[in-house]
């Protein structure tokens, strides 16, 4: 089949139009992606945005869990703010305690603990000014010495830990 001048010219124009349309499509596509917010980096294993403050707060909570696993009473107490207060997870004010009371409880219980293994899953971190709230689920496997021999206890906890930045460091004011 032989092409005429009109057919060739039409095909050439079609090709130019095709290229122009493809270029416009690519430009539009590129602009739509450049207008989209960049994906946020998350703290590994969580859905929490990896801001410096969030990472710092989670590091502090991890230090607490590490001190607990090491059964280091001094380190645990040093991470509590002077105004630390706990309701022991109940509504009964009779079992509430402060930082001094926490130290007494730890000194009573920790010597009977042979080992603690903790796995954490961070749910959320909210920071407003000098205060942070961390929601965490943790599984604890504890070996406790008793008169009848060692006992093992597995438990799962959903905690809300509240920290306050004081003199450049995050200290717990409740929740552990």
Report pLDDT for 5: 53
- Evaluate if residue 86 carries a pLDDT over 60: yes
pTM of the model: 0.75
Report residue 2 as tokens: 């032989």
Cβ 99 vs Cβ 82: under 8 Å: yes
pLDDT in tens, 58-84: 999 999 999 999 999 999 999 999 999
The CA–CA distances, whole Å, from 66 to 9, 81, 97 equal 77, 18, 22
Q: In the sheet that 169-174 helps form, which strands lie side by side, from edge to edge?
A: 113-128, 131-146, 149-166, 169-174
Break the chain into its structural domains and give their ranges. 52-174
Q: Is the pLDDT of residue 155 over 60?
A: yes
What is the architecture, at CATH level 2, of domain 52-174? Roll (3.10)
pLDDT at 85 over 50: yes
Range 28-37, long-range pairs (CB < 8 A, 24+ positions): none
For residue range 93-128, what is the model confidence (pLDDT) as tens digits? 888 888 999 999 999 999 999 999 999 999 999 999
pLDDT in the model for residue 150: 96
User: Is pLDDT above 80 for 56?
Assistant: yes
Stronger pLDDT, 38 or 70, i.e. the higher one = 70
């Amino acid at each position: 089949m032989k092409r005429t001048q009109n057919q060739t010219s039409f095909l050439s124009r079609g090709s130019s139009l095709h290229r122009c349309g493809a270029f416009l499509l690519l430009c539009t596509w590129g602009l739509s992606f450049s207008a989209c917010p960049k994906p946020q980096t998350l703290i590994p294993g969580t859905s929490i945005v990896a801001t410096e403050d969030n990472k710092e707060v989670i590091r502090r909570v991890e230090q607490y869990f590490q001190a607990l696993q090491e059964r280091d009473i001094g380190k645990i107490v040093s991470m509590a703010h002077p105004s630390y207060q706990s309701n022991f997870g109940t509504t009964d004010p009779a079992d509430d305690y402060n930082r001094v009371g926490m130290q007494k409880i730890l000194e009573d219980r920790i010597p009977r603990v042979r080992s603690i293994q903790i796995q954490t899953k961070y749910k959320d971190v909210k920071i407003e000014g000098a205060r942070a709230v961390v929601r965490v689920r943790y599984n604890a496997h504890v070996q406790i010495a008793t008169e009848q021999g060692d006992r093992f206890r597995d438990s799962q906890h959903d905690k809300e830990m509240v920290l306050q930045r004081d003199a450049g460091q995050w200290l717990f004011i409740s929740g552990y």
